[in-house]
Each structure stands twice: as C-alpha cells, then as structure tokens.
C-alpha cells in the first residue's frame, strides 16, 4: 500500500492508510536494522513519509535510534539506524499445565526477558485457585523483566475453539466451560496487578502455540506437523506458514485419532485413541509406574537413560502408536516434516525407532525418509514461548492496534 493511493480518499480511509503504512515501516525495521533511507527504498514510501512514520513509532516506544548506520559515503549527517525497541511494549505469555504453571515475558525483538515455572499439581483444582497462583507468577515475571506488557496470551491443555477466552474442555484438568480471560482478570485484580488485568487477554491450545513457536523460532518449514505431549497428546498442523485451525478451531486433535478401533476406552468416549497408547497415563502404566507422581517425562527419561528395559519397551510401544497416527496425518496432509515436540522431544531417543518404522511402512505414495522426522529444540518451552512471542508479533504486524 502506498501513501499516494489515499489522496482522494476520505478521512476514515486515510487513517486506515496511515495504520497500514505504520505496519509497513515497522515490518521493514523488524526484519533488520535500517536507516530511514533504506526503509524508504524498501517500502516504496517517500523519505518524508518514512521520517514522519518513524517519529510516530519512536514516540510509541516501538522503535529506537541505534547510532549511525553503515557509512554511505555521502556528504551530510550519516543515517541513523532504526531498530525495534527492546525496552518498548512487551509480550506476556502464561501457561496452565496439568503439573505446572508458567509465565514468560519477551521484548519486541522476541528475546526472553523473564521466565518463571512453578511445579504444581493442577488436576481437579478449581479454576479460581489455579488462576490465583498464575496471577502471582505473572506479577513476578513482569517485575523481573521490568517491561510493560501490551497483551497476554494463555496456553491451556484443552479445547479453546474460535471464541477465544472460553475453555470448552480440558479432560486432564477436569475443567469444562471455563471463561479463562474473565477468571484470570479477577485473579490479577485480587493480586493487585491492576495494569495486567487491563491487558487484552487471549487463550489458545498449548499444542497450537507449541507449533507456532516451532514455526517462528524453531526453524520449521512452511508445511509441517508438530506432535507434542504434556499430559495429553496434541498436534499442530501448519500449512503454508499458517496454523490450520479447522472450521471450529479444533483441528489437530491427534490424540483422539484411532490407533486400534478395538483398543481401550478413552476419556473422550471412543476406543483405541492414540492417547491410550502414547499419553502420560498409558505410558506410565505400560512401564509399570502407574500412580507414581511427579514429572512423568523427566522420570521416564531418567529411567530409560539408566537402561530400564520396562521403560524402554513402554516408550518403544508409544513410538509405534505415534508412528501409526502420524502416518495417517502424513498421508492426508503431505507435510515436509513431522516435528516431535513438547515432552516428546526429551523422550525422542526411545520414541523415534518405532515412529520411523511405522512411517516408513505406511507412507508409501511418496516414500518416507527418516530426515523428515525431526526433534524440536524448543521442547517443552514451546507453548509458553509461542504465547509470549505471538503477542509481540501481533504488535509488529499492526502497531496501530495499540491506539485502538
Ligand atoms: Zn480419545
């Protein structure tokens, strides 16, 4: 979009044009440090327009001058490089897990400025009690970072759907129809975090946010399937660089794809779902560790590393089930990669052989190669990173939203 396009337009569309041009300029600056002249050349806007827009972005604390740009050899004042302001509006991420809570602050450049994780058993706790603990954790993370968040995104282990903000069901927490944003705001007010209670609050499934983190930070390709586990099994489908949400926002429920139609009864009411073979409860039972409390991923990894054959066999079986379900998804969607993330990343050495074997046997139209099955570097940090980074990406994509 160019400024000249708006010459004959009315005030409303001129405002829209300015908002679009702010986003255009900020997008160029976000991709790399640039002088005003370079921004003008890349954006196609005039030097005068860029200068005026840059002043506006500096006043909004989104952009800072970072000293002289590379010398151009021309006479006169050297161009000053513009960059995203690391002390400007920040992204606040929150996570409710079955066995933990998390809070994270990232700056406009996406760098983590505060990270807090609390191990706590949330299963069957009331939402208000969990939110009270989460509010306290968020308050502390924001104090650690010393930045001013512009939005809050919450990662939850359940179905959020299109409405955003309402958790339809989280079987592993025992929650149904919880108004996440409203509950969190109440808790933030009770924790004397008024400024945080005023923020725009969004919520999404943790598997979706883990997949987006993989896309934004993990170096994943444009088309991939991200398979992850916390207590349940989830996935994110990314097609052409965008998360595929489906008609109602529920796409990616790989945990409830059938592995064996005559298998065990699942919490969802169906039989033989993937979760009954590769979810926490199933793997712990198969390993002879049913009822053992604590961090199941760490426990299984430690025992497998120590050579525990029961644990290795249980993980091998989970890997085969993951391979069967993933092969179905690969045949349907043709992703470039299947990325093993979340808690599975740590367990990958024992899951991969079974997965590889099933993928090789079942993806036959275009033969499967093992290099297309990769392991996330972000692992369990993914969902919380995706939540916080999503907030700042939304600001950079449309800085005008901060005035709205
Ligand atoms: Zn199920």
Report the distance separating Cα 76 and Cα 64, nearest Å: 21
The torsion angles phi and psi of 362, rounded to 5 degrees, stand at: -110, -20
The C-alpha angle with vertex 208 and arms to 240 and 331, in degrees rounded to 5, equals 55
Query: How far, in whole angstroms, is CA 231 from its chain's centroid?
Result: 17
Helices 127-145 and 180-190: angle between axes, nearest 10 degrees: 60
Q: Where are the strands (E) in 206-245, listed by range?
A: 224-229, 233-239, 242-243
pLDDT at 100: 94
Is the pLDDT score of 329 beyond 90?
yes
Report the distance separating Cα 353 and Cα 315, nearest Å: 10
Going by C-alpha positions, the residue among 254, 232, 277, 271 that lies closest to residue 329 is 254
The torsion angles phi and psi of 249, rounded to 5 degrees, stand at: 95, 10
Q: Which domains does the chain have, with CATH numbers?
A: 14-84 (1.10.10.10), 90-208+383-402 (3.30.420.40), 220-376 (3.30.420.40)
Mean pLDDT of the region 196-206: 95
% of the chain residues with pLDDT over 90 = 82
pLDDT at 249: 86
- Between the CA of 297 and the centroid of ligand 1 the distance, in Å, is 21
Is the pLDDT score of 153 beyond 60?
yes
By the 8 A CB rule, do 203 and 167 touch? yes
Is the pLDDT score of 3 beyond 60?
no
- Between the CA of 214 and the centroid of ligand 1 the distance, in Å, is 25
Tokens standing for residue 280: 């926490």
pLDDT tens sequence across 86-103: 999 999 999 999 999 999
- Between the CA of 363 and the centroid of ligand 1 the distance, in Å, is 23
Residue 401 — very low, low, confident or very high, per pLDDT cuts 50/70/90? confident
Half-sphere exposure of 256 (CA within 13 A, CB side): 12
- Between the CA of 27 and the centroid of ligand 1 the distance, in Å, is 42
pLDDT tens sequence across 25-46: 999 999 999 999 999 999 999 9
Residue 262 — very low, low, confident or very high, per pLDDT cuts 50/70/90? very high
- Between the CA of 351 and the centroid of ligand 1 the distance, in Å, is 21
pLDDT, mean over the chain: 92
- Between the CA of 262 and the centroid of ligand 1 the distance, in Å, is 12
Q: What is the pTM of this model?
A: 0.91
What secondary structure does DSSP assign to 139-183, as a single string? HHHHHHHT--EEEEEEEESSB--TTSSEEEEETTTTEEEEEHHHH
pLDDT at 172: 85
Sole residue written with tokens 């029961």: 310
- Between the CA of 119 and the centroid of ligand 1 the distance, in Å, is 26
Is the pLDDT score of 231 beyond 90?
no
- Between the CA of 243 and the centroid of ligand 1 the distance, in Å, is 22
CB neighbours (10 Å) of residue 182?
Answer: 13
Is the pLDDT score of 2 beyond 60?
no
Helices 11-31 and 47-59: angle between axes, nearest 10 degrees: 80
Is the pLDDT score of 71 beyond 60?
no
- Between the CA of 255 and the centroid of ligand 1 the distance, in Å, is 6
Residue 70 — very low, low, confident or very high, per pLDDT cuts 50/70/90? low
Q: Find all residues with CB under 8 Å of 369, minimum gap 6, and list them.
A: none
Helices 36-43 and 11-31: angle between axes, nearest 10 degrees: 120
Is the pLDDT score of 64 beyond 80?
yes
Mean pLDDT of the region 98-127: 96
What secondary structure does DSSP assign to 281-310, as a single string? HHHHHHTT-TT--S-HHHHHHHHHHTT-HH
pLDDT tens sequence across 341-399: 999 999 999 999 999 999 999 998 778 899 999 999 999 999 999 999 999 999 999 99
Is the pLDDT score of 240 beyond 50?
yes
């Amino acid at each position: 979009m160019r400024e000249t396009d708006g010459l004959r337009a009315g005030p409303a569309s001129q405002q829209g044009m300015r908002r679009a041009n702010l986003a255009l300029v900020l997008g160029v600056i976000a991709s790399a440090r640039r002088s005003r002249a370079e921004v003008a050349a890349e954006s196609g806007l005039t030097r005068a327009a860029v200068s005026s827009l840059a002043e506006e972005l500096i006043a909004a604390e989104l952009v800072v001058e970072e000293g002289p740009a590379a010398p151009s050899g021309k006479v006169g004042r050297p161009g000053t490089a513009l960059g995203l302001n690391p002390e400007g509006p920040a992204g606040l991420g929150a996570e409710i897990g079955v066995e933990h809570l998390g809070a994270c602050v990232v700056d406009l450049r996406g760098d983590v400025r505060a990270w807090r994780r609390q191990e706590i058993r949330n299963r069957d706790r009331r939402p208000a009690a969990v939110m009270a603990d989460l509010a306290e954790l968020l308050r502390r993370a924001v104090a650690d970072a010393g930045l001013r968040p512009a939005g809050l995104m919450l990662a939850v282990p359940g179905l959020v759907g299109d409405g955003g903000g309402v958790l339809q069901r989280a079987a592993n927490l025992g929650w149904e129809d919880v108004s996440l944003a409203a509950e969190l705001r109440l808790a933030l007010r009770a924790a004397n975090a008024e400024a945080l209670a005023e923020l725009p609050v969004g919520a999404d499934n943790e598997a979706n946010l883990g997949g987006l983190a993989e896309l934004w930070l993990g170096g994943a390709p444009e088309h991939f399937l991200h398979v992850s586990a916390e207590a349940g099994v989830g996935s994110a489908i990314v097609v052409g660089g965008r998360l595929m949400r489906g008609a109602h926002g529920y796409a990616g429920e790989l945990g409830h794809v059938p592995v064996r139609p005559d298998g065990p009864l699942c919490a969802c009411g169906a039989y033989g779902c993937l979760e009954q073979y590769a979810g926490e409860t199933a793997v712990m039972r198969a390993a002879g560790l049913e009822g053992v409390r604590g961090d199941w991923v760490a426990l299984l990894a430690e025992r497998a590393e120590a050579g525990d054959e029961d644990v290795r066999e249980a993980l091998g079986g989970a890997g085969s089930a993951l391979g069967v379900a993933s092969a179905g998804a690969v045949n349907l969607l043709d992703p470039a990669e299947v990325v093993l993330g979340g808690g599975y990343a740590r367990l990958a050495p024992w899951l991969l052989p079974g997965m590889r074997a099933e993928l090789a046997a079942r993806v036959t139209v275009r033969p499967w190669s093992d290099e297309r099955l990769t392991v996330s570097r972000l692992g369990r940090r993914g969902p919380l990173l995706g939540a916080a980074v999503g907030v700042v990406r939304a600001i950079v994509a449309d800085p005008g939203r901060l005035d709205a």
